[in-house]
Amino acid sequence: MRRVKFGWKFYLMIITALAIAVRSIPSWIYSAWGTDFGIYYSITIEFLIKKNPFYEYPAVWGSSGYGSFPMLYLIILGAHFLTGLPPQQLLLKIPPIIGGLTIIPLYMITYEITKDRKISLIASALLAINPIHVYQTSMPYLLTVGHFFLLLSLYFFIKWIKERKYLGFLIASSIALLLSHHLSNYMYIISITGISLIGGLYNYIPKKTVKRAFVFIISFTIGTITYWILRVPGMKYFMSSPFHYALPWYGTATIGTILLLILYKIAITYNLNHSDKLWKKINSLKIINVFALSLGLSITVFLILALVGLHGYYIPPIAIFYSIPFMLTIGFIGVGFVKLKKHPESFYFVGSWLLSIIASLIVGLITWSSLEPWRHIEYMMEPLSIIGAIGIASILNSEFFHKISVRKRVSVYFEGFSYTPHKIFGENTLEISNPIPIGGAKVVGDPITYEEKYPIGKVFKTIFIFTITFIVLMSGISAFPFMNHVERSTQEGISPVIMSGIEWLNENGNRNYTVATNHMIGTILEAYGFPSSFEYDYEIWNATNWTDCIDELQGLNGTYPPIGYVLITKDMYENGVFGYNNSQNPLQPPVFMGKEGYEKFHREPFKLIYRNATADNSNWVEIYTVDWHYINNYLQSKKQAKSS
């Protein structure tokens, strides 16, 4: 029977389908997915009404330019016209598909710099199931589209460095990225700057090519800053934050442009040579030792985050369990680092790409500004996937999977046998026909050590491939629990049960009153026209008596209309309420209400008007109305008692 062989296109298609399927899981489980879903939903509705990509669409919350980057909304609009499906459903289903498609440009980048289909497919598979990348690119956010066009633009930049004919593709994809997401655009600029700088210094990229690369980088950077200042609210504030607002935005822009000019001058003027001795020593390290060291370091980092924390950020111990597949992947990445020099293009392109992001991360740690350090990690996963693939391929190609050596130590001796001279050269040199007996035992020479090699590579290679497949599957399965515990302890999804409460309020609620709830639900309600006070609510959750939160109930002196409804879920009760002071501090811990804080809603002036739950009560939603007649009577009687 003839054996069917599948080509790389078939395997890439399977990996892409896996990437899309894993990222799409929340969109099939939840009615809404992502803390900021409501913000994007409200802008999508407005976008579908106006159909103008250059209209300034105000966000219901925040100042991150949610409505200033139209690419996501253009894609949703196009899908709406083609399918006729409602925008809420499209906003939930399309972004994870785009997120899964990011592995295709990564495959293209990997093959361009390695010319190895196997490494390219492994890199795509690692990114397909990387828990950090899966989690982030499953969201209906600008960054999902940003990641796709970032990788596509990087691919065309690398192609354009080699062949000028790709300039049109590079410009088109870079503009698409500019219209997609500001942080992804920033990562793109620093990445191509690092590639051009290091490539020029080590003469891997010709000096002439470095010159035109920097002309493109500086031109695109100036265009980016212009777009940001003219179109993105809050960008002036963002650009001032690295210097803690001591410099205005144009000061930061000027410093950035001057820095690019200095790096350009360095790249075309100086030449460096890497140390062959150093890389030979690194390359000679045993793969098993490198893997063990990388794995040990990753375990240490997770233990430190669980036991000590960083700037008040901790992870629960259970997160270490969910991170096991990810930590094993880090072991392969460590091997890839050691073997990276064997692939010269990968060494320069991927190395400089990764170093650029790490340099920015260090700046973020030093300044601790709007350039949030943890946001760099998701962008590091893309070059690290290529390095991890090189590590796995190096292990598969190692001698261990071809032959295994066994050392043996033996002593050679004679014991109890006879020797009969035989013909060596012509006639016998001794005329003896009978055997000569040799009695006793005599050791001949010193003990001998030798190696025997056994070809058992196929067995171990099969075991290793099954292990890698297991890690891939477990990484995909554990991606959402892992990130849920590492990033925050609250759920990011709106289940049908909770959505029923939102829909009930949408149909029956009075929009003149504010709804107190968490950030995720509050932004959806704001998309439906309800004001929500999640940014300011603290005492209403923490207090055990309603009189202790009267200022928040009344609207904090006109900050928002009086609170008329309180929407609570089981997750809010058990894991705290996220949203308080969120715009000022994204790492703000949740406000816990506790049993007494929750039970106050069972008494006046609160009245339960809606409740829905699953059969086993594992998930529920409750809506309380606020009796302002009761509150006003109380305040009036208190005022009269004071005056008398």
Q: Which is it for strands 620-626 and 563-569: parallel, antiparallel or unpaired?
A: antiparallel
Compute the distance between CA of residue 122 and CA of residue 385 in angstroms, rounded to an integer.
Answer: 8
Mean pLDDT split into 10-residue runs, the chain, 644 residues: 72 95 92 89 87 73 75 93 91 96 97 94 93 92 96 97 95 97 95 95 92 96 94 83 81 92 94 77 80 86 76 68 78 87 87 94 80 85 94 80 59 49 44 48 55 58 73 73 64 90 96 95 93 94 94 94 96 91 77 93 96 94 96 88 72
What is the reported pLDDT for 422? 46
How many residues can be counted in the chain?
A: 644
SS3 sequence of 300-331? HHHHHHHHCCECCECCCCHHHHHCHHHHHHHH
- Contact, 104 vs 349, CB < 8 A? no
What is the reported pLDDT for 639? 82
How far is C-alpha 481 from the chain's CA centre? 14
Compute the distance between CA of residue 463 and CA of residue 396 in angstroms, rounded to an integer.
Answer: 11
For 3-25, write each residue's pLDDT tens digit. Answer: 556 789 999 999 999 999 999 99
Phi, psi (degrees; rounded to nearest 5) at 555: 105, 15
Token representation of residue 86: 């409602």
What is the reported pLDDT for 353? 96
For 235-268, write each residue's pLDDT tens digit. Answer: 888 888 777 778 888 898 999 999 999 999 999 9
- Contact, 400 vs 154, CB < 8 A? no
What is the reported pLDDT for 417? 47
The string of DSSP codes covering 379-426 is HHHHHHHHHHHHHHHHHHTSGGGT-EEEEEEE--EEEEEEE----SSS
Secondary element (H or E) of residue 622: strand 620-626
* Ranges assigned E (strand) in 227-277: none
What is the reported pLDDT for 345? 86
Compute the distance between CA of residue 119 and CA of residue 441 in angstroms, rounded to an integer.
Answer: 58
The string of DSSP codes covering 511-560 is TTSEEE--HHHHHHHHHTT--B-TTT-SHHHH-SSGGGGHHHHHTTTTTS
- Contact, 613 vs 501, CB < 8 A? no
CB atoms within 10 A of CB 355: 17
Beta bridge partners of 451: 407
Compute the distance between CA of residue 360 and CA of residue 352 in angstroms, rounded to an integer.
Answer: 12
SS3 call for 31 = coil
- Contact, 197 vs 355, CB < 8 A? no
- Contact, 139 vs 98, CB < 8 A? no
